[in-house]
Amino acid sequence: MTTAVRPPGWRAWIEPWFLSYGFVGASVAGMVPILLPLSIGKSGSVADIGLVVGAFNLGGLSAPLWGGIADRHGYHRLLLTCGLLVSTLTIGLFPFASSITARLILALGQGAGAASAATVANLFIVEVHPRPEWDERIGWLQTFYGAGQVIGLFFAGILASANLQSGFLLASAITLLACLPAMFMKGPIGRTRVIRPALKHPSRHSEFSAGSPQTFYHHCNPQALKRILQSSMSPLGVFLLAWLVSFGGAAAFFSLYPVVMKTAYGVDPSISSICFAVAAAGGLFLYAPAGTWSRKHGPIKVLQVALGGRIVAFGALVALTALSLGSARAPALISFVVVVLAWSLLSVAGTEITAQFSEANEGEGLGMFNACTSVAGVLGAVIGGWGAEMWGYACIPAMGIGGALVGMVLIGVISRKTRDQKGKETR
């Protein structure tokens, strides 16, 4: 008589080094995106905020460089350690920098260091464990990162109105602490495959792309870019354009979030940061339902619903600024919660659509998707800061509306093309 083999419990999928990325999520994705704009806003202009946050996101575009070094030479642990140390140093020095040039360099170092550390995260899974275990392990890795972000946002909320310098030093210490669990990473780690296996997990954290282990696994390459440009009206090319515009519009708002909420809606940074933490925590529970809805109704439909929700939420924020309501704090926070929760649907649907349209190589398509995300983060931050400097904070949620509307139109084009193609195939 044979007995059924029980599947391993959740503890079997977790390794001690996952804590490293929980700490990175707390500092780089939770605390820094709140502390950076608040710190610059005390002594610089809104345009300066956009430039510094844009430099932070620009550091993420160095991921292909670090990934190439890891692939060719196998310097995985070195890249992880150096990345964490660079982020630790640049975060700790930031509150003592006075010139905009120094702040731009330090912000760039923060993003690049986080990208270096995050680039190798999934390689420690796919090169050590058998393929059937990848989904569970990567899912838990993402959960640790997302939970870390939520905790970091709470810390930022506590320190945002009290002492920004202490906040940066705490974020620096947390990043340094990430080096300790990394010592338990399993090896040996050698050179990686030339073509990496496609890992279609969405980024299970809120909208900041810098430092995300999953975002930095697949890299954009010149050959993929050339093929997309040669067939720019392909479904994948149109979708990537839609993603670039819609993500960029929202990035303008997220880059200036604590300053916008304080100036335009009278919400203290401590309250807005804690609200962000609660919304991000709620978003973690939406990924599984979003996957179910995507399989049942199709990822394009889920993406359209999420963009529609953002249009309504950003529209409410625009209306609140236009009406100049003195007690707009509660409606503004509720609208922002809707914007954050929509990300769970967008992340799941966007990843699925990219994999679906990347018929030749899913990993290559996901690399293009990740590159669009990083570029949109840079452009959204810079253009958002410039726009707020020129026309005031009311234009920031308006950019979110514009990006989502253009995205909706382009997604509608894709949907019609897909239906027409299916109609031709059935005839």
Task: Give the pLDDT score at 191.
Answer: 59
Nearest CA among 266, 311, 290 for reference residue 408 = 311
164-177 and 76-93 helices, crossing angle to 10°: 170
Task: Give the pLDDT score at 351.
Answer: 92
Cβ atoms of 191 and 73 closer than 8 Å: yes
What value, to the nearest 5°, has the Cα angle with vertex 266 and ends 255 and 345?
A: 45
What is the homologous superfamily of the domain 14-426 according to CATH?
A: MFS general substrate transporter like domains (1.20.1250.20)
Q: Among all chains, which residue has been given the structure tokens 């899913």?
A: 362
User: From CA 345, how far away is CA 340, in angstroms rounded?
Assistant: 10
Residue 198, CB-side half-sphere exposure with 13 Å CA sphere: 18
User: From CA 315, how far away is CA 310, in angstroms rounded?
Assistant: 8
User: From CA 186, how far away is CA 411, in angstroms rounded?
Assistant: 43
User: From CA 19, how far away is CA 366, in angstroms rounded?
Assistant: 26
Encoded tokens for 139: 């899912």
Task: Give the pLDDT score at 67.
Answer: 84
pTM to 2 decimal places: 0.90
Task: Give the pLDDT score at 196.
Answer: 75
Torsion-angle region of 273 (φ positive above 0: left; ψ -120 to 50: alpha; else: beta): alpha
Q: What residues have CB less than 8 Å from 167, skipping those under 6 apart?
A: 31, 35, 155, 156, 159, 160
User: From CA 264, how far away is CA 167, in angstroms rounded?
Assistant: 24
Going residue by residue through the chain, which has 427 residues, state the pLDDT in tens, using 9 for 90 and above: 444 444 567 678 888 889 999 999 999 999 999 999 999 988 878 999 999 999 999 998 888 888 888 878 878 888 899 999 999 999 999 999 989 999 999 999 999 999 999 988 888 888 888 888 888 899 899 999 999 999 999 999 998 877 899 999 999 999 999 998 887 776 555 555 556 788 888 888 888 766 788 888 888 777 777 776 666 678 888 999 999 999 999 999 999 999 999 998 999 999 999 999 999 999 999 999 999 999 999 999 999 999 999 999 999 999 998 876 556 789 999 999 999 999 999 999 999 999 888 866 777 888 889 888 989 999 999 999 999 999 998 899 999 999 999 999 999 988 887 765 655 555 5
So where are the chain's domains? 14-426
Q: What residues have CB less than 8 Å from 141, skipping those under 6 apart?
A: 18, 21, 121, 122, 125, 213, 214
Residues in the chain: 427
User: From CA 112, how far away is CA 359, in angstroms rounded?
Assistant: 31
**What Cα–Cα distance (Å) separates residue 152 from each residue in 63, 365, 419?**
23, 31, 44
